[in-house]
Amino acid sequence: MNFDPVAINLVGKTCLITGANGGIGRAIAEHFAALDARVMTTDVESEFKGDCDSLHQAFDLASPSGLNNCRDWITAETPDVTVNNAAAFDMGSVLDADLHQFDRLYSLNVRAMYGVMQASAKALVQAKRRGSIINLASQAGHRGEALVAHYCATKAAVISYTQSAALALAPYGIRVNAISPGVIDTPMWERVDQLFAKFENKSIGQKKKEVGEAVPLGYMGRPFEVARVAIFLASDQSQYITAQTLSVDGGNVLR
C-alpha cells in the first residue's frame, strides 16, 4: 500500500478572506489562523471582528476605487490562498427586482469576485507560485428561485467563472474551486428571514425554522462546517481537485 500522509495545516501560507466580518468569513479566518496561516482580511468595516490576529484592510469592493485598492493590496502581498466570500443578498420577483438591485448585487457578487480572483491569480503567476482560490457560491446558484432571481444568477456566475478560471490557471499550478453553502445560520439570515416574512407574508422566524427543518440532515448549517471545507480546499489535501463546486448544504441540492 502506497500511503503518503499529508498534514492538514497552513503553515507558511498567506490567506486572504474577503467579507471577513460575515459569519462564514469570520469562521474561515479563525480556522485558517488556528492552522498557523498568515491571515489577511478585508471588509467594509475598519476592524476585523474575528477572534484571531489578521492583517486587515477596509475596502468597499462594490465600488470601483475600493476594488482597485484591494487589487493593489493583493498584488503587494501575493496571498497563497484567496477566499472570495464578500457578497450581498436581496429579494424580489422578476416584477419587483429592478435594475438597481441587479447592479448592486452584480457589482459585489460577480464583478468584485472576478476582480479579486484575477488579481490573486496574476500575483501568483508573477511570483511563479502555486496557490488555491476558493469562491463562495450558493445552493441558489444551482437553480432559479421565484423571489431570488438576481442573487441566484450571480451565484450561478460564480460557479461558471470558477470553472473557466480553473481551466485557464491549471498550467500554472493554481487551483480554483467553489464552495456552495446551503442554509447556514449566520447573521445574514436574519435579513433573509425578514425579507421572506415580507414577500411570503410569514411571521418573523418562521421561514428560518422551515428551511432548517427541510434540510435532509435536519438543521441549518453552522459557519464552522463551511470553514472546514475551506481548509480542505486551501491545503495540500485537495491538491488534485480543481474546477469543482463542493456543496455544504446537508443534502439540500442533489447534483
pLDDT tens-digit readout, 195-204: 989 999 999 9
Do residues 164 and 133 share a domain?
Answer: yes
pLDDT band at 64; cut points 50, 70, 90 = very high
Do 144 and 133 fall into the same domain?
yes
Please state, in angstroms and as integers, the Cα–Cα distance from residue 251 to each residue in 29, 93, 185, 196, 220, following that order: 25, 26, 16, 22, 11
CATH of the domain at 52: 3.40.50.720
- pLDDT category, 6, cuts 50, 70, 90? confident
Order the strands of the 131-136 sheet from edge to edge: 55-58, 38-43, 14-18, 81-84, 131-136, 174-181, 245-248
* Closest to 245 in 3D by CA, of 185, 182, 176: 176
Q: 79 and 96, same structural domain?
A: yes
| C-alpha to C-alpha distance for 46 and 42, rounded to whole angstroms | 9
pLDDT interval class at 1 (50, 70, 90): low
Residue 94, number of CB atoms within 10 A of its CB: 10
Domain count within the chain: 2
Query: Which residue in 151, 161, 172, 240 is the catalytic one?
Result: 151
Query: 160 pLDDT exceeds 90?
Result: yes
Q: Clarify whether residues 149 and 128 are in a common domain.
A: yes
* Stated pTM of the model: 0.96
Average pLDDT over the chain reads 96
> Confidence class of residue 9 from pLDDT cuts 50, 70 and 90?
confident
Mean pLDDT to the nearest integer, 54-65: 98
Taking CA 124 as the corner, what is the angle to CA 121 and CA 125, rounded to the nearest 5 degrees? 85
How far, in Å, are 10, 99, 109, 150, 157 from residue 95 at the CA level? 47, 11, 21, 12, 22
Report the DSSP beta bridge partners of residue 83: 17, 134
Residues 205 and 227 in one domain: no
Q: Which three cell numbers stand for residue 83?
A: 477566499
Phi, psi of 184 (to 5 degrees): -115, 135
- Whether the CB-CB separation of 80 and 59 falls below 8 Å is answered with no
Distance CA 180, CA 136 (A): 6
- 106 among known catalytic residues: no
Q: Do 69 and 49 share a structural domain?
A: yes
Render pLDDT for 166-192 as a digit per residue (tens, 0 to 9): 999 999 999 999 999 999 999 988 888
Flag whether 39 is in a domain: yes
Q: What is the DSSP letter of 237?
A: G
Tell me the residue range of the domain where 200 lies.
186-220
**pLDDT band, very low/low/confident/very high, at 254 (cuts 50, 70, 90):** confident
Residue for grid cell 474575528: 50
- Residue 7 maps to a domain: no
